Each structure stands twice: as C-alpha cells, then as structure tokens.
Amino acid sequence: MKKETAAKTIRPAASTPDHRIENSQVPGVKKRVWLRRVLFWVGGGIATVLLLLVIASFAVDEPLRAYLERQMNSKVEGYSFRLGKLDFHPFGFAIDLENLVVTQNSAPDPPVASIQKWHASMEWTALLWGRLVNNQRFVKPVLHITTTQAKKEAEDEIPVEKRGWQDAVEAVYPFKINEIVIEDGEITYLDEATPPRTIHIGNVNLTATNIRNVRSKDREYPSTIHLEGELFDKGKLLIEGHADFMQEPIPGINAEFHLGATPIEDLRPLLGRINLQLRKGTLAGEGAIEYSPKVKIVQLKKLEVDGVQLDYVHSPKTQMAEKERTHKAYETGKELTEHEEIVILVDHLKMTNCNFGYVNQSTVPPYRVFLTQVNMELENFSNQLTAGVSTLKLRSKFMDSGNTLVTGVIRPNGGSPDFTMAVKIEDVRMETMNDIWRAYGKFDVTYGLFSFYSELTIKNKTIQGYVKPLFKDVVVYDPQQDRKKGTLRKMYEAVLGDLAVLLENPQRQEVATKTPVSGNMENPQTDLIETVLRLVQNAFFKAILPGLERNIGRKQ
C-alpha cells in the first residue's frame, strides 16, 4: 500500500518541459510583441497625421479658394473669375473647383462661361517615369456668348488671344498638365434680335493627352486630341488630331474633322444680319485644319450642301450696311490672299437640290429673281496662286422654268477678282418675270419665251463680255388681261408689242440682240457686285429695247 502511494508521488524527470515558463522568455515571441508595439505607435502616428491633414484641409479650403480666385483674375484682362467653392484633398494632393463663373467686365450679364466642377489631381503613375504632372477634368462647362458680348469683344483693343487664358489655367495647379478631359460641355450663342434666337452646340466631350507647360517649337503639336459633339443638337461633329494648348498667343491645332449631315436652320440669326434669309437645308463635310500663330491652313476635302433655300434681300434701308460688308469682305479676302501662311483649299464642293434667290426691294414693284433645283460642283478652289485654276459648273431652273447652265473658271489673283463665266438660260416663261419688266421697262407680258446668253471675264479690275437676250412668241398687250389699265399704259404696251414684232426673225419668230459689256472697276472692294449688275442690267435692257424710246416718242 505504501509502495503504490510512493509510486504515484514520484516527480517528472528534470528534462520534461515546464509549461509554466513565461512566453516572453522565448526569443521569437518576444520579437513579435515588439513589432506589434512599433506598428501600433507608427500607425497611430500616421492616423493622427492624416486626421490633422483632414482637419487642416477644411481650414485651408477657403483661404486657398480666395488665393486661386485672385491668381486667375490677375492673369486675364477684361474678364473676371468668381469661384464658388474649393475642396482640397490631401490624400491624393487634388483640388476640386466648383461653380466657377467667368464674366466679361464690359457686359457682365449673362456670364460668358461657367464650370460646374473643375478637378485637378496628380498623376501618380507618371512618377514611375520620373514625371511630375497633373490631370484636369472639366464637368459640364458652358460657354455662353451673346451678340452684345461679341460686339464688345470686337471693339476691345486687346485681342482675345492675348488676354492670358493659358496663364489662368496654369495658376490653378502648379505642375505640368498631362491630360485634359471635358465632359458634357455646351456652347451657346444668343442673338438678341426680336425674336431672340439661339445657336447651340451640345454634348461636347474632349480628351487631350500629353499636354505640357513647356513651349513647343513651331508646327510641333505634342498633345493628342479627340473631340465629339453635336452641332445644332443634330449634326455629329468629330475632330481627331494633335494640338499645342500652351502655345502663345493662341493654342495650335493640327487635326482632321468630320461633320455628319446637319440641318443649318439655326444659322438664320447670323445670316439675317447680313440680309440673307435661310429657310432650310443640310450641311456635311470633312477636311483638315492646321491653325497656329504662324501657320493657318483650312482644307475642305469634301463639302456637301443639300436642299438649301436661301435669298439675298437688297433693301434701301440696308444699302449702306451692304456696302460696308462688301468692303470688309474684300479686305478680308485680300488679307487671306496676300499672306502666304493663310491657305484656303476646297477640293470638292457639291450642292444638290438648292434654291437661291435675289430680292430687290428698292424698285417699284419689288421683284425676286431665283434659281431652283440647283446642282453645282466647285473643284480645286484656293486662294493660293500655286494651286492653279478652279472650275465651276451649275445646272438649275431659272424662275422655275428655264433650263440654266453656268460654267466658270476662277483664277487666284492677289487682291483682285479674276474669273471667266459663261451663262446659258433657255425658254423661260416670260410672264414669271413680269415684276422685272414692270420695274425696269414699265410693261408686263402675257406670253412669251425668254432665253439669255452671256460671257463675262473680270481681270485686272476690268470687265469684258456680252449679253444676248432672246425672245420668242412675245405677247405684250392683251386687251382682256389689260382692260383695267389706263389708256396711256395700253398704248405703251401696244407699241412695245409692235416693236417686238418688227424685230422678230421672220423665219424663227425670235427677237435677239447682242450687246457688249465693258467697264472699269476702280474700287472693286466696294462695288464689284453692284458694278457688274449695273453693267449687265444696262446692256440687258439696251438689248431688249433697242430704239424703244425713239419709237414711243415718234408716236406721241
């Protein structure tokens, strides 16, 4: 019994582990505990720093907003910036500008532009390549222009490209810009006439990469651009190419563009101010543009105009304004021709099913001359002498009845019109032109067919050519139609009808007289169109009414 108890109380051998030994006495465990303590204090320190940064960011938002607002205002002349809110994000070293508004000082209402959100941030992946750059994103930017603002800008002595817009953008974020993104942008133009009309370009989305604040060499465009938009809310506009946004005094671009079939009725507010009345039509085209401070090239590879109905209205009230516009257009064309770096190229222009008219409200009665079913092609047009001649071919209906063919050759010639044109119009129903006969000849026509042939050359400020109107089966006086007219009017038209009979070719029953056209144009910039029309008009009626006054005087 005692032996069993003694056996049970025997202690383990000294080599057996003692589980009561402290874990901290083990080297591996001790290292892990130390590491946890270090991480705790480091993490706590970082968290504290981050918390302080967050708190500081709220405190710095307003001072930074005011500072950036002052900086932008100091960079741009004639315009003012108002920044609604700024959020600084210390973790990503980014800022958000919200509700930025730009106003024109001379016409502050409405604002010229507004940006719902402007986000600028560091591009951290670029650091792997040793570059310190930022990305900028504009959300819902709106450019809003009125006729008043456009007029004020045109009157200002400082051109818009020299106002410091690039410097204002650079002031927002101190590092080089790598990427610009525009999301859902808009451009609106408000014509403040009565009633007001708006031209709108919407859904503008732009991505431009590899933008640098360093200045590039001439014709070097470091940025890749891709732009999509909706012209007049219906036509799809696509631009792809390269640009130099930081070039001064204006950004440079070298890109190709494509415009889908676009209704152009929204252009009526602009055209109405230059006496053009547009009713409908579509425009489509593609081409390329290189535009920079030293190089300006616009190439229309293909331009298609379809179904346009357009009238030019000449009015006594706007006569002086018309001459001023003609003068400005001439000066602009002369500048485009004389400056070799400004190049305009039109490879192919095509018009189909168009309707063009000329309305003269300065005569009694007023009249409208028009072409319907116009189909025209213009090839190889340019303002450069080295481009060679361009050719024009037009087919249409004159006064909706006479088959019309116009061919022409246009020669680039610095500062002076230089072209040759041939016109053939056949079998126009003369009664459709009665307003013209009444305005210039004081008679009208019951029946007859009218044809017209002409060749004109304008070169070295002189015009040479001829007009040849031809009449067939003319009936000027109809007792039934003219029964309500006065006795003198009936006598006049009867004499005119007798004269037409006397002049008729007995075998062909036609009246035809060819009259030369010639004259000098001392000031083609102000009266080219007026001079040509007057010379053609005088020759035309001289051909129509040879000896009419003498014959009428004899009968009186």
Helices 319-338 and 524-544 sit at what angle, rounded to 10 degrees? Answer: 120
The kind and range of the H/E element at 43 are helix 27-75
Cis peptide before 12 (omega within 30 of 0): no
pLDDT for res 226: 96
Q: Please enumerate in sequence order all residues whose Cβ is within 8 A of that of 324, keeping only pairs 6 or more positions apart, or say none.
A: none
Say what the pLDDT of residue 518 is: 81
- Residue 199 phi/psi, 5° resolution? -105, 130
The residue that leads in pLDDT, 236 or 35, is 236
Using 50, 70 and 90 to split pLDDT, how confident is the model at 16? very low
- Predicted local confidence at residue 322, as pLDDT: 64
Flag whether pLDDT at 416 surpasses 80: no
Residue 555: predicted pLDDT: 34
Closest-CA residue to 124 (of 98, 100, 89): 89
Contact 184, 203 (CB under 8 A): yes
Per-residue pLDDT, 115: 94
Q: Where are the domains of the chain?
A: 64-294
**In the predicted model, what is the mean pLDDT of residues 183-199?**
81
Q: 411, 419, 316, 302: which is closest to 359 by C-alpha?
A: 316
Contacts of 321 (CB under 8 A, 6+ apart): none
Q: Given this model, what pLDDT does residue 438 score?
A: 85
User: φ, ψ for residue 154 (rounded to 5)?
Assistant: -65, -30
Residue 498 pLDDT > 90? no
Is the predicted pLDDT of residue 352 greater than 90, yes or no?
Answer: yes
Q: What integer pLDDT is reported at residue 232 of this predicted model?
A: 83
How far is 292 from 161, CA to CA, in rounded Å? 11
- Are 415 and 338 in contact, with CB atoms under 8 Å apart? yes
89 closest CA partner among 118, 62, 117, 58: 58
Looking at residue 246, its pLDDT comes to 72
In this structure, the number of other CB atoms found within 10 A of the CB of residue 133 comes to 20
Gap between the Cα atoms of 85 and 99, Å rounded? 7
Highest mean pLDDT among 193-197, 217-221, 537-541: 217-221
Q: Given this model, what pLDDT does residue 118 score?
A: 92
**40 or 276: whose pLDDT is higher?**
276
pLDDT for the residue 431: 92
| Angle formed by the axes of helices 487-503 and 548-555, nearest 10° | 130
What is the pLDDT at residue 76? 86
Residue range 102-129: mean pLDDT, rounded: 83
For residue 452, which of 465, 435, 438 has the smallest C-alpha distance?
465
Q: Two tokens at 80?
A: 């003012």
Render pLDDT for 377-410 as a digit per residue (tens, 0 to 9). Answer: 999 998 887 778 999 999 999 999 999 999 999 9
Give the model confidence (pLDDT) of 41-55 as tens digits: 656 556 555 555 555
User: Once rounded to an integer, what is the mean pLDDT over residues 310-329?
Assistant: 74
Predicted model pTM: 0.72
Tell me the pLDDT tens digit for each residue of 517-554: 887 766 544 455 666 666 666 666 666 554 333 333 33
Highest mean pLDDT (candidates 88-97, 163-172, 364-373): 364-373
Crossing angle between the packed helical segments 165-172 and 27-75, to the nearest 10 degrees: 160
The C-alpha atoms of residue 370 and residue 382 are separated, in whole angstroms, by 27
Task: Please tell me the predicted confidence (pLDDT) of residue 174.
Answer: 66
CB 418 within 8 A of CB 454: no
- The CA angle 165-166-168, to the nearest 5 degrees, is 65
The three-state DSSP-derived secondary structure of 354-403 is: EEEEEEECCCCCCEEEEEEEEEEEEEEEECCHHHCCEEEEEEEEECCCEE
Q: Give the whole-angstrom CA distance, residue 127 versus residue 131.
A: 5
Distance CA 52, CA 61 (A): 14
Of 50-59, 164-173, 434-443, highest mean pLDDT? 434-443
DSSP state, residue 440: I
The predicted-structure confidence for 245-262, as pLDDT tens digits, reads as follows 777 777 889 999 999 999
pLDDT at 421 over 50: yes
